[in-house]
Structure 1
Amino acid sequence: MLSKTLDWDLLRIFFVICKTGSLSKASDYLNINQSTISRKLARLELKLGVRLFDRVYSGLKVTDEGIQLLDSVNKIDVEVNNISRHFMGNGDELSGKVVVATFDAMAEHLLPIILSFQKNNPNVTVELTSSGHTCNLEDREADISIRGAMSVPEGLIGKKISPISTSAYRKSDITGEMPSSWIGWGSSDSKLDPTPKDAKVSLRFDNVGMILKACESGAAIATLPCFIGDASKKLCRVPGTFNEEQTGLWMLCHKDVIKKKRVSVLYNLLLDFFYESNPVINS
């Protein structure tokens, strides 16, 4: 059997290096010392008798042999995730862990619901993550994701909470000329960036909280969801920039993971909260 001749852990490390693009990022992802990552990669290359990466100036480049191995490991990863979702997604007890991923400004709105749910279900641990990273529900990086989207991605189920009304905001007590530069969302090619296409962008952040703070400092103008911008006492809307719908706020979950009782109960509680809060969110 392959398991007697090749350590599956070595394949996992190879897969994560390919996924993250570097030894240092793989080390952070796996929480393993970088020297250990490097040593295990060398061990895998020795076992297979091939070089999997070329060391180039910009980092690591997957070799042709590495691409062939990655194709096989990708298939294994898909099957492992399918098995995990199927057998771990049928729990009918309110115990275990639920991971909810959203953006930082939304996390503050969810906190009372999360605390109430956990108090009533003490055997459930809830992790609320609010980083700028978009969690991959297929890879079970989160159980529930609340984020802006155009539609429900393939393989997931979801509810559109609300269209998101947006407006450009500036610092309310600015004296003199209004800033001419803007703060962009994420990378310059982001499809969800609500910043006007002809705007002069001087700053970019993938974190809503940082965008809000930079705008409040008076550094530049920013397009924000109205339920965030209007809540700030330091900001005011830029006249003529209100937009009723740039994108939608969606709550998403994998179709297998929603079978877990602890996930479905929290999912429905959050859904009720959003429907009750819809006028605030949609401003």
Structure 2
Amino acid sequence: MSALDWDKLRIFHAVAEAGSLTHAGESLGLSQSAVSRQIGALETQLNATLFHRHARGLILTEQGELLYRTARDIFARLAVTEAMIADAKDKPSGELCVTTTVAFGTVWLAPRIKEFMDLYPDIRIEMVVDDRELDLSMREADVAIRMWKPTQADLVYRKLITVHNHIYAAVDYIARYGAPQTIEDMDRHHLIVYGEEAPAHFNNINWLLHAGEPAVPREAILSVNNVYGVMQAVASGLGIASLPDYMIEGNPRIVRILPNLDGPGFDTYLVYPEELRNTKRLAVFRDFLLRKVADWQF
């Protein structure tokens, strides 16, 4: 059998990632028919069917899965090599894909990115805010800010900051219902909590329902499966919630109540693959974040 054609392998990888000939063609700048011909030629060369075709798209066969795992590893390694070559220049440059949760990325990180890009204009940042954990070893992102310590052995991590949770309500809510003076008063207030599928990493995230050991757990008026959504509901005046302190920074509509009562906290970590440890663009981003968390007081 002749050696695999790199161009066909690149097209196969794009189709496997997209699950669609049309979407792969759009990302590659090729027509659907051109992509289909290349996949057909690759299947002929390998004498194997690589995709099951159905109305909703393409699904890899067993042989396709085997080739995809290899191709994914090859292209991930090529991306690392390309980044290291680009990083050899005098100034930090190149692309840096940063992922973190929707709440932290939207509220804390995004407002600070401009300062970083002003300092390092040759670095192109892509922010991916997602509450699921992207696979850094597969280069779904270059660096992550996570709300829990990573468990993968091939990842480097460094603690950034401890996030504290406290009780917050909107000024409008307090004007309408008054502010609770004790934790027992919470029995008579509207509570907003995280949805039932709260991440296991966050210990006792809905602690407000049990704080003060009420005779029966309090009931929430609303549950939301994203802490940014909880914050927005609080800001609207709907009710009271436990929120990370960083989410309230600079928001005049929301105030802290029961200030002597602390909720559970958690540590945040900067996480990245070992092979990126010495790249300049990651090093300057890491140092920038460490300066920002050192300066941040709330």
Higher strand share: 1
Superposed, 1:105-254 pairs within 5 Å as: 105-111=107-113, 113-118=115-120, 122=121, 124-127=122-125, 129=127, 131-132=129-130, 134-151=133-150, 153-174=152-173, 175-176=176-177, 178-184=189-195, 188=197, 190-193=199-202, 195-196=205-206, 202-205=223-226, 209-219=228-238, 221-229=240-248, 231-237=250-256, 239=258, 242-245=262-265, 247-254=266-273
Deviation, 1:226, is: 0.8
SS at match of 1:262: helix
CA displacement at 1:222 relative to structure 2: 4.4
Compute the displacement of 1:262 (Å): 3.5
1:33–1:196 Cα change, 3 Å:
farther
State the shift of 1:150 in Å: 2.3
Q: Give unmatched runs, 5+ long, in structure 2.
A: 178-187, 210-218
Q: Report the AA paired with residue 225 of structure 1.
A: P
SS in 2 for 1:188: coil
8 Å CA contact 1:168–1:222 kept in 2: the answer is yes
> How far apart, in 2, do the equivalents of 1:270 and 1:28 lie?
38
Asked whether the equivalents of residues 100 and 127 of structure 1 are also in contact (C-alpha less than 8 Å), the reply is: yes
1:3 counterpart SS class: coil
Residue 93 of structure 1: aligned partner: 90
Greater shift in the superposed pair: 261-270 or 189-198: 189-198
Q: Which structure 1 residue ranges, 5 or more long, are not aligned?
A: none
Contact 2:15-2:21 at 8 Å conserved across structures: no
Give, as a single letter, the amino acid of the residue that structure 2 aligns with 1:12.
Answer: H
Q: Are the equivalent residues in 2 in contact too, given 1:215–1:221 (CA < 8 A)?
A: yes
User: For residues 255 and 71 of structure 2, what CA distance do their matches in structure 1 show?
Assistant: 51
Equivalence for 1:66: 64
Q: Deviations over 1:186-226 (max 9, x none)?
A: x9263345632877563323xx5444323312456544211
Deviations 1:99-130 (A, max 9, x none): 25241112245235314413xxx5x1331525
Over 3 Å counting, the alpha-carbon distance change for 1:42 and 1:97 in structure 2 is closer
Q: Separation in 1 of the partners of 2:257 and 2:55?
A: 45
SS at match of 1:2: coil
RMSD (CA atoms): 4.1
Query: What is the alpha-carbon distance in structure 2 between the residues aligned to residue 231 and residue 73 of structure 1?
Result: 47
> CA offset at residue 132 of structure 1?
2.5
Q: CA deviation at 1:161?
A: 1.2
Aligned sequence identity (%): 15
> Do 1:170 and 1:221's aligned partners in 2 also have CA atoms closer than 8 Å?
yes
The residue type paired with residue 39 of structure 1 is S
Change (3 A) 1:158 1:117: farther
Give TM-score, length-normalised by structure 1: 0.70
- Distance in 2 (alpha carbons) for counterparts of 1:49 and 1:179: 64
Distance 1:203 1:253, change over 3 A: same
Higher Cα radius of gyration: 2
The one-character-per-residue Cα deviations of 1:245-277 (angstroms, maximum 9, x if unpaired) are: 2x2122223332232233323322331222232
